[in-house]
Amino acid sequence: MQVKRFNENFAKAWDEIVWGANNGTIFHTRQFLAYHPPDRFIDHSLVFYKKNKPYVLLPAAEVTNVPDKMLISHPGASMGSFVVPEDLSFADALELVEALNSYAKDQGFSGVRITLPPTIYNKRQSNYIDFSLLQCGYQYLKREVSSILFLEDSIEENLAKFNPAHRRAVRKAQRMDVDVRQTDDIDSFYEILQKNLKTRHGVEPTHTVAELKSLQTLFPDHVQLNGAFVKDIMIGGVVNFIANNDVILAFYISHDEDYQEYRPINLLFYEIFRWAISNNYSVFDFGIFTVNEEPNMGLAKFKEKFGSSGIFRDTLDYHF
């Protein structure tokens, strides 16, 4: 197994490999990683070759925190780790991790940190990479929990999984003529989002409004803003990333507190699930409700009331 550092000449081939891989997502593509300003990260992505042909990818970056210089899963992406073929063998998984460690050590890194996507992002379920990392000396740095909902064959079956209070909220929103639709009105949503995050957590959104607009322009089929409106006034919204052909990830969820009685979020998810089912998606990922393993119990319960359960999003590291 040979390891080479990514260069821009390989960008098109890289994205083709991502979309054909077992676990590739929008977040692994060069098109997504390249939207970040060039001075934000030191990209150190890798291409692994088998029999002189590109075989496996690893989106990664250098992070220096003196005296350590770590090679880590790309911090500008929600999903990290190796992008692997569907028929990855156990032997190749072990060899990949060994080759990564050897490369990183030779390049003067003090360690490697890998964030694994939840297994639902795999076409073919496999824990070969997890096992190989542990076998090669990696240890869990943290285990976050993401809320995931398996989509049924019809919206009625998914509605039956809702907690009764959530079902009542959907009906109330419908009676109050809340209109849910896909929209390009990032500015109105961003105002709601910014106000909510500042009030509740004292933080700013991960993306600037310009970056969110840029992503929607770059990925018109993969970045979706669903808005809830009352008389054409946006009162809530959800930004989804269509991660791959099976999974949709909710990235931002927010509503205007002044319109809480309209229950916009409940209806938003009901309509999002309806759209997802009709377009043959199988899983909806609400995102994590833990931060550095500290759970937000209110958020966990809110997502569970849609019928969701929890799955690990693990980060492992290894120090030389």
Query: Do 306 and 174 contact (CB within 8 A), yes or no?
Result: no
Q: Tell me if 199 is assigned to some domain.
A: yes
CATH number for 228: 3.40.630.30
Tens digits of per-residue pLDDT, 8-33? 999 999 999 999 999 999 999 999 99
Find the domain containing 44 and state its range: 2-144+315-319
Number of domains present in the structure of the chain: 2
Q: Is pLDDT at 47 greater than 90 in this prediction?
A: yes
Q: How far, in Å, CA of 272 to CA of 288, rounded?
A: 18
**Are 218 and 132 members of one domain?**
no
Predicted pLDDT of residue 120: 95
Tell me, yes or no, whether 120 and 9 share the same domain.
yes
Residue type, 94: L
Same domain, 136 and 174: no
Which CA distances in Å does 67 have to 1, 91, 111, 179?
A: 30, 34, 11, 54
In a domain, 300, yes or no: no
| Same-domain pairing of 101 and 197 | no
Q: Are residues 219 and 121 in the same domain?
A: no
Same-domain check for residues 7 and 140: yes
Whether residues 156 and 112 share a domain: the answer is no
For the segment 49-67, the average pLDDT, to the nearest whole number, is 93
Q: Are residues 224 and 164 in the same domain?
A: yes
State the pLDDT confidence band at 200, using cuts at 50, 70 and 90. confident
**pTM assigned to the model:** 0.93
Residue-level pLDDT at 35? 83
Q: Are residues 162 and 258 in the same domain?
A: yes
The answer to the question of residue 231 being in a domain is yes
